[in-house]
A and B are shown apart, each in its own frame.
Chain A
Amino acid sequence: EVQLVESGGGLVKPGGSLRLSCAASGFTFSNAWMNWVRQAPGKGLEWVGRIKRKTDGGTTDYAAPVKGRFTISRDDSKNTLYLQMNSLKTEDTAVYYCTTYVMDVWGQGTTVTVSS
């Protein structure tokens, strides 16, 4: 069964940092481009960023609101996707989902709350 399981969410103060993880199973993770998507409380879906597979360069792209503050990385030996979030703002409060590139598989999400 294809599965994505996010972890690492929590409460953090503005200006703080947090690293989210997404454990993948049931498919060849190293071949997959992956996304992070977030959803603020009571709001819609917002694409955060994407990482290509290493054979395609492993490059990343980000949404404008997070560019320069968030970094997506991957460890193919651990089948794990990461989202390093720095300089967090209150508006980054959201449920963060990892998804496959074509968004046919989603994790259950992990909640990040940025508040003093």
Chain B
Amino acid sequence: DVVMTQSPLSLPVTLGQPASISCRSSQSLVYSDGNTYLNWFQQRPGQSPRRLIYKVSNRDSGVPDRFSGSGSGTDFTLKISKVEAEDVGIYYCMQGTHWPPFTFGPGTKVDIK
């Protein structure tokens, strides 16, 4: 199974400042069709997860443009350009290239300093 790791696991941020989360996979996530199936999810306290980014860098509908995804191969990054209070929560990366199973990272908890 593909192992997903994230760093940091805890990220205290100042409102209005940028934040960055790293995600690494144990093998390349490039699929045979040329796509890279790496997603990012946000889970606010007490809520269901919500997909933010799919295929590395594509924002879902309604996701603010302060969120961006990048990366390739085995190294990926989620960036928040200016953190807002509503961004508090846990962020997960997930690979959908080598399945089954789909595998998630351990999560990065973002909170306000």
Contacts and interface: CB of A to CB of B under 8 A. Distances in A.
Q: Interface size class for chain A?
A: 20 to 34
Nearest to A106: B48
Contacts, number: 52
Interface stretch (B11-19, B26-34, B77-85, B94-102): B94-102
Interface of B: 39, 41, 43, 48-51, 54, 60, 90, 92, 94, 96, 99-107
Interface of A: 35, 37, 44-47, 49-50, 61-64, 97, 102-104, 106-109
B54 A47 contact: no
Contacts of A109: 48
B41 A104 contact: no
B54 A104 contact: yes
B68 to A, nearest CB: 18
Main secondary structure of the interface of A (DSSP, over half): strand
Contact of B104 (A45, A50, A104, A108): A45
